[in-house]
Structure 1
Amino acid sequence: MKATASTSKLELENLPGYYIRRLQQIAVAIFLQETDSHGLTPVQYSALQGIMNSPGVDQRTLARTIGFDTSTIGSVIDRLESRGLVLRNASPSDKRVRLLTLTEEGRKTLRAVIPSMLRAQERILGPLPKADQVEFMRMLRILVATNNDLSRAPSDPRD
């Protein structure tokens, strides 16, 4: 796909960004349909799962791990904390740093939402044959990994 300065009309259907944006909208809609009874957004789910995977993680590291903007992760944690799902504790080595842990209610909520979240993932990929689902996920991982540094919120899952 080659664009030129003389191109005055571009068909959206020929642009990968158009389909990526639409798929993101669809993925969020399916996630919310499947998980409606739990009242979590996809980012809130990711935060809970990230904290579960790394208890005592700080907010900045969590944001990098899930590929979310460090300047707005605080409001996500605020909402989870106000629901009694997450606790913030001062770091023993740096009182400015807040370490995150799930409450018992947070662990219960996470366990309860996982089947719905997995159904959402299946629905997103469902229109593709199984072999194509595997290939699509492989290609997505390549695109995300190789373009990660271009993101406003690059992820660093190694944190």
Structure 2
Amino acid sequence: MGSKKRTCNMPHTLHHIAMSMYPPRQSEWWWTLANSDDLELYNMPGHLVRRMAQVGASVFVEAAARAGYDLTSVQYAALKAIERYSGIDQTTLAGAIAYDRTTIGGVIDRLEQKKFVIRKVSPNDRRVRQLFLQPSGVEAIRCIDSMVEEVQSAILSGLDTKEKATFLKLLRKAADGANELSRAPLRLVKEP
């Protein structure tokens, strides 16, 4: 027997799905979707944290682009850590920004291609590459720093001032409490 090829005519994006389920005749159709009890998923912390991470990444990239930079929030975090700990090595940098050690090299490669950082062989250990900001990296940080507060505010725009403080306090507590469960736990840098 021959197999029959199946086709799927379903919408291709969440936006299309949401629009077909909740037409935008009311301005807040997304609120109905988000507060639906249709899926337990909507109330699971892992799902909510992932959604907030998506929001944060999107808002940051868009704001950086408006400022004239092709920069991700991870690249910005790396630049800030290199600024604070000039001469930091890649492994220590990965821990300082809670990023996977096996992929931090790609982040540094892109920052190096953009002429924001430079790698130098450590005078103490030729196997170690130390990271330093280039003048264009310093300039990028200066420019991006001015819009980071705006980005943070946009990410939490659904909360009032008191709620933001409570949310950040609880989020920090939850992140610190689960730190060792991560494949890329935060590791504070010890000052020399």
Common fold by TM > 0.5: yes
Residue in structure 2 matched with residue 65 of structure 1 by the alignment: 96
Residue in structure 1 matched with residue 173 of structure 2 by the alignment: 142
Q: Distance in 2 between matches of 1:158 and 1:135?
A: 27
Q: Determine helix, strand or coil for the equivalent of 2:150.
A: helix
- State the shift of 1:126 in Å: 2.1
Q: Distance in 2 between matches of 1:100 and 1:45?
A: 14
Q: Determine helix, strand or coil for the equivalent of 1:38.
A: coil
Q: How many aligned positions are there?
A: 151
Give the number of the structure whose alpha-carbon radius of gyration is greater: 2
Task: Give yes or no for contact 2:59–2:154 (8 Å, CA) kept in 1.
Answer: yes
Q: TM-score, normalised by structure 2?
A: 0.76
Q: Distance in 2 between matches of 1:146 and 1:98?
A: 32
Which structure 1 residue ranges, 4+ long, deviate > 6 Å from structure 2?
A: none
Residues 1-159 of structure 1 correspond to what in structure 2 (within 5 A)? 11-36=40-65, 37-159=68-190
Q: Distance in 2 between matches of 1:44 and 1:85?
A: 10
- State the shift of 1:10 in Å: 5.6
Seq. identity, %: 40
Task: Give yes or no for contact 2:115–2:137 (8 Å, CA) kept in 1.
Answer: yes
Q: Give the helix-richer structure, 1 or 2.
A: 1
- State the shift of 1:96 in Å: 0.5
Higher relative contact order (CA 8 A, sep 6+): 1
Q: TM-score, normalised by structure 1?
A: 0.91
| Uncovered stretches (5+) of structure 2, i.e. residues with no partner | 1-37
Q: Determine helix, strand or coil for the equivalent of 1:57.
A: coil
Q: Distance in 2 between matches of 1:33 and 1:157?
A: 29
